[in-house]
Amino acid sequence: MASSYGYPFEQQHCLSISQFSRPDIETLLSLGEHYLNLDVQKSPDNAVLTGKTLVNLFFENSTRTQKSFEIAGRRLGADVINMSVAQSSVKKGETLLDTAATLNAMNPDILVVRHSASGAPALLAQKLSGSVVNAGDGMHEHPTQALLDALTLRRHFGKDLGGIRIAICGDITHSRVARSDIQLLNILGCEVRLIGPPTLIPADADRWGVEVFHDMETGLDGCDAVMMLRLQLERMSGAFVPSKREYFHFYGLDRSKLAFAKPSAVVMHPGPMNRGVEISSDIADDPEVSLITAQVESGVAIRMGILHALSEAQDGIS
């Protein structure tokens, strides 16, 4: 049977950007674009997951991402079961395998999982018969965030992102969003730069196909887009950063620093924002430069696209 989107998407899981070919990514972005249309989202004709069960298993709190997957699954007709598990009860790898056995008994067609341990979704994928979607694992990857970022960029710059210069700024070391974004933007032919203090950029980052900068003025020069990362509260004082105030002075995005980028540059942030720490409110809320609202809009759409593609691959429609 022919796929509904042309290219034979044959991935069973969505665990990391590195697993996808360029055509896989084009397929997912095309499906995401399709579902950006609200009338399409809400049409009962799109219930391609009818009769399927999606388990939304979050070991870390994230109302935003969990609800985004819940809405995406429901709009596609799936039965969605939310499970929020306190971190404390799953400290050991052994117990994660017990969880996998419990989940297998529930026999979900798709498991969406967020976990503080890098590799937890991949481990579950080995033990479960259904598809696994990584909704963020430790400091490893957050592939659906990267795909929604790429979808957002395409809405602004058009389908071909080749040659677009993008700076990712802030705490690269601890960011799974950055790891997924870097890989995906490289695949799409962007020129990727990292900007941050030496304490927050890994020593081997120059081997990731990026250029590394430690000051905003040089790093932002000629950039088409600036992706700010969230500074986790626990890094805001002490070993990594002298203080919130000093961090904002050197790396927080405000009008004066944005002026180092191209005049047409746009700004992104995966949310939730620390206003006044990594980004100023006047930048975040300026519809002329901020794509942040468009990113949120892209979230439900790209997740519908990913679920759609995995479901068709399960059914052998590819």
Q: Which residues bind a second copy (CB under 8 A)?
A: 38, 41-42, 44, 51, 53, 63-64, 67-68, 70-71, 74, 79, 81, 83-85, 89, 94-95, 97-98, 101-102, 104-107, 271-273, 275, 281, 285, 292-293, 296-297, 299-300
- How many CB atoms sit inside 10 A of residue 292's CB? 23
Cβ of residue 3: shortest distance to a second copy, in angstroms? 24
Token pair belonging to 172? 């690269």
Q: How far is the CB of 81 from a second copy (least distance, A)?
A: 6
Closest to a second copy by CB, 98 vs 246, is 98
Torsional class of 179: left (φ above 0), alpha (ψ -120 to 50), beta (otherwise): alpha
Q: How far is the CB of 2 from a second copy (least distance, A)?
A: 25
Cβ-based nearer residue to a second copy, 77 or 119: 77
Q: Please say which residue, 211 or 286, places its beta carbon nearer to a second copy.
A: 286
Of residues 44 and 198, the one with the C-beta less far from a second copy: 44
Q: Which is nearer to a second copy, 15 or 306 (CB)?
A: 306
> Are the C-beta atoms of 59 and 224 separated by less than 8 Å?
no
Q: Shortest gap between Cβ of 198 and a second copy (angstroms)?
A: 30
Shortest spacing between CB 248 and a second copy, in angstroms: 16
Q: Which long-range contacts (CB under 8 A, 24 or more apart) does 232-238 make?
A: 232/171, 232/174, 233/274, 235/171, 235/174, 235/200, 236/277
Q: Find the shortest distance in angstroms from Cβ 233 to a second copy.
A: 11
Cβ proximity to a second copy: between 195 and 294 the closer is: 294
Least Cβ distance, residue 139 to a second copy (angstroms): 22
Structure tokens at 171: 């705490």
Listing DSSP states for 15-84 in one string gives --GGG--HHHHHHHHHHHHHHHSHHHHH-GGG-TTTT-EEEEEESS--HHHHHHHHHHHHHTT-EEEEEE
User: Rg of the chain over CA atoms, in angstroms?
Assistant: 19
Residue 293, token pair as written in the block = 């609202």
Q: Is 226 exposed, middle or buried, given 0-12, 13-18 or 19+ CB atoms closer than 10 A?
A: buried
Pick the closest to residue 57 from 2, 9, 126, 104 (CA basis): 104
Residue with smaller CB distance to a second copy, 71 or 317? 71
